[in-house]
Amino acid sequence: AGRGAAAGGGQSPDAFGRYRSPLVSRYASPEMGFNFSERRKFGTWRRLWLYLAQAEKSLGLPITDEQIQEMEANLDNIDFKMAAEEEKRLRHDVMAHVHTFAHCCPKAAAIIHLGATSCYVGDNTDLIVLRDGFNLLLPKLATVISRLADFAEQYADLPTLGFTHYQPAQLTTVGKRCCLWIQDLCMDLQNLERARNDLRFRGVKGTTGTQASFLQLFEGDHDKVEELDRLVTVKAGFKRAYLVTGQTYSRKVDVEVLSVLASLGASIHKICTDIRLLANLKEIEEPFETDQIGSSAMPYKRNPMRSERCCSLARHLMTLVLNPLHTASVQWFERTLDDSANRRVCLAEAFLTADIILSTLQNISEGLVVYPKVIERRIQQELPFMATENIIMAMVKAGGNRQDCHEKIRILSQQAAAVVKQEGGNNDLIARIRSTSFTGRASQQVARFLKEEARPMLTPYQSKMGVKMELAL
């Protein structure tokens, strides 16, 4: 299948005179940026051509040690200028790089890409990059969970006003609320692990997935074709290859990958929205640097800009899953090329964006500031209402009818609320009740959840958890 060349245009001598995606230039980690770089992509193409030649040689094709050694010596010797010129001439990115590789490997030129189709390097490289992208994200997610678990443990017993419909409800604790965040992230950790482990290699399948070209190379020997597929799969670091493909691996795989990343985006958006609301209440704030400026006009402001950044980028991440959904639905028969340009954008952006919001959330979670006195003051304002459920239960135990008791307390609560809202007075619902916490089993739930679920999930990532996250911007 033909693959279109990139759009032209002269290179600007000034890097600031050309658009650069802020996902890379401003936010993403160097390791994730490299994972989706052209050097990584085309270096992987060359390694895949090497794996193919090595496997074909081991199964009896006339490929020499000298040809293999020449390929090995030039895996990273990529002339990008020549490749760009070849692509402009041929309008085919894979053949442009076949010619470029052959130019520096003249002895191996005749056997590079032998029996393969473009998707041998294109799709297999994508699967390698997706796998490695997950391997970069998982320790970062585990680190965020660990930092939040420490925070939840520290504030497991600190009562705070709970909200339903963003209206005052019953009390919970700061740590228990944090465990709601952690539980969502633990689900994401499991989902990312599953998506990574479900990835298979495309392998060597030929132009329409039938392996016809390889069957011809090996003169009808089906066992050798299957062994070739297995050898290349193992060399690329995969345990399994898809048993059936068209020209490409199923684009449903991309749907699965971006779905779990979109779900992670939803979790982080919810967490950071909560932090933004708590910052407005002055109960909890994200880190704020000594020289940080919150507003160019209002010097007193301490805006939750990191949480806002997470929400902004999480929205982008959540929308990206629509791309593979549409792409998978319109792949005619064995494949069409209308997937290519779209996938170049959405796959990389999904992992880059997930990387950015995890790094930012780690920075937030390592510097959350809690204001217990503000939290206590808000509890005192609402405490009489907090006691109503306990009063109703006590009235029923004393022989009252639950519905009658509820109605009486409801009327009194509305009257007390009118005093607070309309007259600016104090809440006088239960003038004689002592200030008591009604946090239920929140503390016990925090301890059990962290011990039995959250922390055990982090064990595989202990050696890879990052140091304290410092943000450049």
What is the CATH number for 39?
1.10.275.10
CATH code assigned at 444:
1.10.40.30
CB 294 within 8 A of CB 301: yes
**pLDDT over threshold 80, residue 162:** yes
CB 453 within 8 A of CB 186: yes
Q: Measured between alpha carbons, how far is 260 from 320 in angstroms, rounded to an integer?
A: 11
Catalytic residue check, 443: no
* Domain boundaries, position 423: 374-453
Is 204 part of any domain?
A: yes
Quick one: 131 and 171 in the same domain? yes
Summarize the confidence of residues 350-369 as an average pLDDT.
97
Is 8 part of any domain?
A: no
Lowest-confidence pick of 8-17, 267-276, 313-322, 341-350: 8-17
The confidence band for 300, taking pLDDT boundaries of 50, 70 and 90, is: low
**pLDDT over threshold 80, residue 430:** no
Q: Measured between alpha carbons, how far is 246 from 416 in angstroms, rounded to an integer?
A: 70
Partners of 369 in the β-ladder:
285
177 contacts: CB under 8 Å, gap ≥ 6: 160, 162, 274
Residue ranges of E strands in 333-389: 369-370
> What per-residue confidence (pLDDT) applies to 467?
80
Summarize the confidence of residues 275-286 as an average pLDDT.
96
Is 12 part of any domain?
A: no
The confidence band for 371, taking pLDDT boundaries of 50, 70 and 90, is: very high
**pLDDT over threshold 50, residue 436:** no
Is 68 part of any domain?
A: yes
Quick one: 316 and 181 in the same domain? yes
Phi, psi values for residue 241, rounded to 5°: -120, 155
Q: pLDDT higher for 173 or 302?
A: 173
Summarize the confidence of residues 250-257 as an average pLDDT.
98
The confidence band for 310, taking pLDDT boundaries of 50, 70 and 90, is: very high
Quick one: 148 and 86 in the same domain? no
pLDDT (tens digit per residue) in 88-109? 999 999 999 999 999 999 999 9
Q: Measured between alpha carbons, how far is 229 from 206 in angstroms, rounded to an integer?
A: 11
Is 24 part of any domain?
A: no
Q: Which of 25, 58, 295, 312 is catalytic?
A: 295
The reply to whether the predicted model has a pTM over 0.85 is yes
Quick one: 223 and 328 in the same domain? yes
CATH code assigned at 269:
1.20.200.10
Quick one: 163 and 273 in the same domain? yes
Quick one: 36 and 52 in the same domain? yes
Lowest-confidence pick of 33-42, 204-213, 251-260, 282-291: 282-291
The confidence band for 433, taking pLDDT boundaries of 50, 70 and 90, is: very low
Quick one: 88 and 217 in the same domain? no
Summarize the confidence of residues 173-189 as an average pLDDT.
98
Which of 327, 349, 370 marks a domain boundary? 370
Quick one: 362 and 400 in the same domain? no
Is 153 part of any domain?
A: yes
Buried residues in 343-378 as b, exposed as e (16+ CB within 10 A): beebbbbbbbbbbbbbbbbbbbbbbbebeeeebbeb
pLDDT above 90: percentage of residues in the chain = 74
Summarize the confidence of residues 265-276 as an average pLDDT.
98
Which of 329, 344, 370 marks a domain boundary? 370
Is 17 part of any domain?
A: no
Quick one: 52 and 191 in the same domain? no
Catalytic residue check, 12: no
> What per-residue confidence (pLDDT) applies to 34?
97
Summarize the confidence of residues 258-282 as an average pLDDT.
98
330 contacts: CB under 8 Å, gap ≥ 6: 336, 338
Quick one: 366 and 220 in the same domain? yes
Other CB atoms within 10 A of residue 333 CB: 8
Quick one: 252 and 137 in the same domain? yes
**pLDDT over threshold 60, residue 5:** no
pLDDT (tens digit per residue) in 390-421? 778 877 888 888 898 788 778 777 777 777 77
Give the chain's mean pLDDT: 90
> What per-residue confidence (pLDDT) applies to 438?
56
> What per-residue confidence (pLDDT) applies to 179?
98
Q: Measured between alpha carbons, how far is 235 from 57 in angstroms, rounded to an integer?
A: 14
Q: Measured between alpha carbons, how far is 467 from 427 in angstroms, rounded to an integer?
A: 47
Partners of 241 in the β-ladder:
201
Structural domains in the chain (count): 3
**pLDDT over threshold 90, residue 288:** no
> What per-residue confidence (pLDDT) applies to 399?
84
Is 180 part of any domain?
A: yes
Summarize the confidence of residues 158-174 as an average pLDDT.
93
Instruction: Provide the 8-state DSSP code for 4.
Output: P
CB 221 within 8 A of CB 113: no
> What per-residue confidence (pLDDT) applies to 435?
33
> What per-residue confidence (pLDDT) applies to 189?
98
Which of 59, 81, 104 marks a domain boundary? 104
**pLDDT over threshold 80, residue 127:** yes
Quick one: 331 and 408 in the same domain? no
CB 169 within 8 A of CB 388: no
> What per-residue confidence (pLDDT) applies to 204?
97
**pLDDT over threshold 90, residue 293:** no
